[in-house]
Chain A
């Protein structure tokens, strides 16, 4: 459908206002909100994501697309809620104890939000107990742990061990990320997923739930 292509295109251009208008137009034409989401918004975000991984677009282009996605979602959300469509997965996101780096974490948060996930950002230098509190309070589907330093990545394991101790491990999928983190490390510490960049992280989060 033309209007869905227009939504996808406007999103790729980061034209937030046009995405909002076109989403409304599509609703008026009788297109279902879930259709607008998957074949318009997420399709556009998928194209931007692929280009980002391929170094064809960079951080500014991803951020403006994520922002445009948000505008589109705001149009759809009230209607999606009414139609009984399952709410978006919820993610608790933070940088582990001893690590104050937040650019990567913030990018992951922005792109996740732009992919329709609900993100609770608990900040930087987050103690494992604070992650546990956040899980009890927000009941997320996913816990995403960021670490830039080889000296703080061990804290990702500490958080997972604490989840096990608290009997919460089965209630939440754990994703890890950050420069020193590897697929092998992810397996070693018993995390559910690892991603190399913000776009992959958002895709993985959607896959995990």
Chain B
């Protein structure tokens, strides 16, 4: 099997020759310092430019993907032509959606929430980003078509926007206000989420027109889970978010019926998984199994016939632990999430800077070899 056949087998719930491997999709990037260490470890010479700004993991290096035998290559939407995030003298930065953040070392913090104090009517006056602003798809069709026609990799589309309804909502509004609005100010929340959805659908419209025929998966990212529980109840998800997710995912399916939708949500989201399925997702990422209730075996048993799993490799402990830790981690995930296929190996979130490069290499090597052994019965 080549990479694309392998991925397609998994996406269609058929057993592949081995588990497909992914990196640099959704949150599974490598923080910059960690990337440089890995690059050196792999003896890759020559620097490349960062592929994005405003993040802590900014490199997309196909030489690294090749060295690790990653089965995917990825495409992403550009910012509009001539767009530059606004930089202020105090070092803070304003993004296209209007919130202001700052960097400290390798971390990014939101420090201003522009919709604080707004009421419903203010939402009409807010300078929302224009999904149809020119430049977002410059060069995109060529790259996607090239990957599709001239390589055997699976082609994965990054989410057109790095945030979703829930997290974009609270980042704009402020966390505590947003949470309390869900109870006391429902009309505001509904209108806010509609505004965000409209932009996200617009971005998908532009994006899928450009790359739809060439991609196998597309990601949608938002975080509903904390370490112990979801932020909100399943009932609240059903009330506010499920109908909008249905709208978004059916829009994608209508435009590109062959494309599988991957939802990324960190944390303890077990109680929400049935509703994610109902919303129309095909792939769930990242199965953060160190979070409460996220037992991979249970999730595989209950949802494995409807969902493919992506991620699963713990970055909080195993990946930055000993070589034995990470080898055991990879084997465990093939045994549970990857039993008889249905699983794409990737770090569950951004690989931390201090992660030993040899652990990253060992993770993929172990997953590759062990899954081959399991699936082929050898």
Contact = CB atoms under 8 A, between A and B. Distances in A.
Interface of A: 14, 52, 55, 57-61, 63-64, 67, 98-104, 106, 110, 124-125, 149-151, 179-180, 196-197
Contacts of B317: 150, 180
Given A150-B316, A150-B352, A180-B316, A58 B108 contact: no
Given A103-B175, A106-B175, A179 B227 contact: yes
Given A100-B107, A125-B107, A60 B316 contact: no
Interface string B295-318: 000000000000000000000110
B175 A100 contact: no
A150 B320 contact: yes
Given A125-B104, A179-B316, A67 B230 contact: no
Interface residues of B, number: 29
A105 to B, nearest CB: 11
A60 B236 contact: yes
Contacts of B176: 63, 106, 110
Contacts of A101: 107, 109
B188 to A, nearest CB: 14
B316 A99 contact: no
Nearest to A52: B229
A197 B108 contact: no
A124 B109 contact: yes
B180 A67 contact: yes
Q: Is the interface of A mostly helix, strand, loop or mixed?
A: loop
A67 B175 CA distance: 14
Contacts of A196: 227-228
A58 B180 contact: no
Given A60-B180, A64-B183, 7 more contacts: A55-B229, A59-B179, A60-B179, A99-B107, A151-B354, A196-B228, A197-B229
Contact of B109 (A14, A102, A106, A149): A102
Contacts of A98: 104-105, 107
A55 B271 contact: yes
Contacts of B320: 150-151
Contacts of A151: 320, 352-354
Nearest to A149: B352
A30 B309 CA distance: 61
A98 B354 CA distance: 13
A100 B180 contact: no
Contacts of A179: 227, 290, 316
Given A196-B228, A197-B228, A63 B104 contact: no
A147 to B, nearest CB: 11
Interface string B314-346: 001100100000000000000000000000000
B231 interface: yes
Contacts of A180: 316-317
Nearest to B178: A60
B118 interface: no
A63 B176 CA distance: 7
A106 B104 CA distance: 19
Contacts of B105: 98
A58 B352 contact: no
9 contacts: A57-B233, A58-B233, A60-B183, A100-B109, A102-B109, A125-B109, A179-B290, A180-B317, A196-B228
B235 to A, nearest CB: 9
Ranked nearest first, the 9 interchain pairs of A and B with the lowest CB-CB distance are: A100-B109, A100-B107, A60-B179, A179-B227, A58-B233, A60-B182, A59-B231, A125-B104, A63-B179
B342 to A, nearest CB: 27
B107 A58 contact: no
B110 to A, nearest CB: 9
Nearest to B237: A58
B184 interface: yes
A100 B352 contact: no
B232 interface: yes
A61 B184 CA distance: 11
Interface string B118-144: 000000000000000000000000000
